Amino acid sequence: VVKYILFASCYVFWVASGLMIAVGIYAKVAKEAEAVDSLTADPALILIVVGLLMFGITFVGCFGALRLSKCMLMIFAWTLLIILILQVVAAVLGFLFSSMVLEKAADLMEKAISNYRDDLDLQNLIDFIQKKLKCCGVNGYMDWSHNIYFNCKDRNPSLERCAVPFSCCIQKREEFVLNTMCGYEMQQQPEWKAEQGIYVKGCLDQITTWGQQNLLLIGGISLGLFFLEIIMITLAFILIQQIQFLNLRTEATLEMVLQPFF
């Protein structure tokens, strides 16, 4: 029972890691430009690396459980235990240095805004976040001046000068056709006037608010994964103990059988 429960658990994560690798490779190959590489890390590359790591660990767990290999199960159990400890340490450090985490997140989002028009995948991601969370920019709609196309300086020749993307706009219920020029010249408007047509709150605050509002959901998912990892580690060590017990019993049986001949 322990053997096949551990095998089934590893197999599910093994298949999921394969899908992650496939999605990451597709995103990397289909990328129109390399603007995302100027960010702290390419999301497609992160998917590939994490997928490969999961693929390797779960493959060792699957094969070790199926073949009752003590060596492979030891590698699987101790690797998973180290990853679990690193996750706990990262969570504690993230909680203790939350202000630093927010600063790094703000820097990453500012770089994303600067490269908004240079990569279609990044553009779609930013538009999705702004529409979903009803926000604009990092700390506010004026952050879009950091982009060369939306910069509000007089010498900027872009037609989108002083504008914000259409994803910042408040779409009214009676509007069935999306007006992609709704954010034009919004950076020249004071906040009290701009908020009538666009979202003026920054996405960083909205993400923080969303996290606080969904703390139970996030905590539940995190605890679920945490206990699942503990269960898989426990099953691996139980199976190792069973293999050791069977090996000892087999050796004892052989000694009893061969003893009369010596």
Percent of the chain clearing pLDDT 90 (strictly above): 28
User: Domain for residue 44, yes or no?
Assistant: yes
Position 136 confidence tier, pLDDT thresholds 50, 70, 90: very high
Query: Which segment of 2-16, 40-54, 107-121 scores lowest on mean pLDDT?
Result: 40-54
Tokens of 18: 């394969």
> pLDDT at position 30, please?
67
> pLDDT at position 149, please?
92
Calculate mean pLDDT across residues 129-150: 92
Position 38 confidence tier, pLDDT thresholds 50, 70, 90: very low
Q: How far is CA 200 from the centre of its chain?
A: 27
Per-residue pLDDT at 122 exceeds 90: no
> pLDDT at position 33, please?
45
User: What is the rounded average pLDDT for all residues in the chain?
Assistant: 85
> pLDDT at position 49, please?
86
> pLDDT at position 34, please?
47
User: Domain for residue 166, yes or no?
Assistant: no
The residue range of the domain holding 221 is 1-97+205-259
Give the total number of structural domains in the chain: 1
User: Domain for residue 213, yes or no?
Assistant: yes
> pLDDT at position 217, please?
87
Residue range 146-166, pLDDT digits in tens = 999 999 888 888 888 999 999
User: Domain for residue 64, yes or no?
Assistant: yes
> pLDDT at position 41, please?
52
User: Domain for residue 13, yes or no?
Assistant: yes
Calculate mean pLDDT across residues 208-237: 88
User: Domain for residue 162, yes or no?
Assistant: no
Residue range 85-110, pLDDT digits in tens = 998 898 888 888 888 888 888 888 89
> pLDDT at position 97, please?
83
Calculate mean pLDDT across residues 26-36: 59
> pLDDT at position 169, please?
92
User: Domain for residue 114, yes or no?
Assistant: no
Which residues, 6+ apart, have CB-to-CB distance to 61 below 8 Å?
6, 7, 9, 10, 72, 73, 76, 80, 232, 236
Position 176 confidence tier, pLDDT thresholds 50, 70, 90: low
Percent of the chain clearing pLDDT 70 (strictly above): 92
* Backbone phi and psi for residue 198, each to the nearest 5 degrees, phi listed first: -135, 165
Position 39 confidence tier, pLDDT thresholds 50, 70, 90: very low
CA dihedral 109, 114, 115, 117 (to 10 degrees): 120
- Taking the model in full, what pTM does it have? 0.72
Tokens of 215: 């703390």
User: Domain for residue 140, yes or no?
Assistant: no
Q: How far is CA 66 from the centre of its chain?
A: 30
Contact by Cβ (8 Å): 204, 139 = yes
